[in-house]
Amino acid sequence: MNNQEYGKMVIEELSQTLASIPTADADKFVALINEADEVFCAGAGRSGFQIKGFAMRLMHMGVHSYVVGETTTPNIKEGGLLVVCSGSGETKSLVNHAQKAKEMGAKVALITTNVESTIGQLADVVIVINTASPKVQKQDAIISHQPMASLFEQSEGIFMDIVIMMLMDSKGMDADTMYGRHANME
């Protein structure tokens, strides 16, 4: 296969995963962000890279957003929201973060392949990316020709960009408004 054929295959896989996310779940995810005083973002590995981009876009919107584990991240409390990206929903450090968030009275949103995971059971909303991963095999999963969990990681990133667009609509914002908060010390 050539690069264009691979590109078409990846786009088709992404179309399937994104179309399988129920609108009601996406709407609830957006509502939790709109209701939160602060949004804390956590993920490990490539999911960690994706969630950092989401925290940045939230900041561009004027949302008080933080990446868990960074030195300037404050404590989570009631009124906060923890957004976790975890394919398995079982990564120990992320389970600990979710448990602490619930203990403090905060809400939890999870993007995962595994709704029945430990974090899934704690979460106020679960966004299921319906694909298999090396750690979670499912009967009805969308099959990917990409290596490892690439389809999950791409889908979660694009889903979070879609959430930003939904938030922009709900707040009457556009890209120009957001660019006003773009970093100027690069």
Evaluate whether residue 70 is within a structural domain: yes
Residue type, 90: E
94, part of any domain: yes
pTM: 0.91
Q: Which pLDDT band, with edges at 50, 70 and 90, does 71 fall under? A: very high
In a domain, 98, yes or no: yes
From 13, 38, 153, 156, the catalytic residue? 153
For residue range 92-114, what is the model confidence (pLDDT) as tens digits?
A: 999 999 999 999 999 999 999 99
* Assigned domain for 180 exists: no
Q: How confident is the model at residue 135 (pLDDT cuts 50, 70, 90)?
A: low
Between the two ends of the chain, the Cα-to-Cα distance in Å is: 39
DSSP string over 123-134? -SEEEE--B--S
What integer pLDDT is reported at residue 133 of this predicted model? 66
Domain of residue 61: give its range: 3-170
Q: Give the per-residue pLDDT at 69.
A: 94
Residue identified by tokens 């999911």 is 47
Number of domain units in the chain: 1
- Alpha carbon distance 120, 17 (integer Å): 19
For the question of residue 153 being annotated catalytic, the response is yes
* Distance from the Cα of residue 183 to its chain's centroid: 22
pLDDT at position 175 is 82
Helices (H) and strands (E) in the chain — how many of each?
7, 5
86 within 8 A of 112, measured Cβ to Cβ: yes
11 falls in which pLDDT band (50, 70, 90)?
Answer: very high
The mean pLDDT of the chain is 91
The mean-pLDDT minimum among 10-19, 46-55, 177-186 falls in: 177-186
86: CATH: 3.40.50.10490
Buried b / exposed e over 15-39, threshold 16 CB at 10 Å, is ebbbeebeeeebebbbebbeebebb
Tokens for 175, please give them. Answer: 């890209």
| Domain-embedded: residue 118 | yes
